[in-house]
Amino acid sequence: MIFLDIAVNSKPMDWFPILLQLGIAVAFAAVMIGATQLLGPKRKTSDKLVNFESGIENVGNARQPMAIKYFLVAILFVLFDVEVIFFYPYAVNFRSLGWDGFLEVLLFITLFLVGFVYIIKKGALQWEE
């Protein structure tokens, strides 16, 4: 609502600094891209046209499917990492939260552990097939 009110009551001259900065940024980017194309060296050799792989020779096909276990472990890491982040506000405010806060954190830890046990029971962390 506030943004709508500001947009309705603003004059075109109020937007001039924003448009000026946007124009300068776009012009700067265009000039830099154009300058590198015009002034840069144009020697194309076979060594420069080869993909760089950190100095390691290419082996195999890059389109080969990966095991889903890698992605599953990554997703589980992010999930549990984010859950652990929620402990920080409790650690900062644990005295002011009292027993109600303590019981809520115990409920959170219980749900956290139930999820962890579920993941272990499903075998999501077992690498052997």
> Domains of the chain: which residue ranges?
68-122
State the 10-residue block means of pLDDT for the chain, 129 residues long. Answer: 60 87 97 93 80 71 77 82 82 85 89 87 77
The amino acid sitting at 103 is: L
Superfamily of 68-122 according to CATH: NADH:ubiquinone/plastoquinone oxidoreductase, chain 3 (1.20.58.1610)
State how far the Cα of 76 lies from the Cα of 84, in Å rounded to an integer.
12
In the prediction, which pLDDT does 91 show?
Answer: 82
58-68 exposure pattern, b = at least 16 Cβ within 10 A, e = fewer: eeeeeeeeeee
pLDDT at 7: 60
**Which position has the token pair 């579920």?**
118
What pLDDT shows up at residue 29? 97
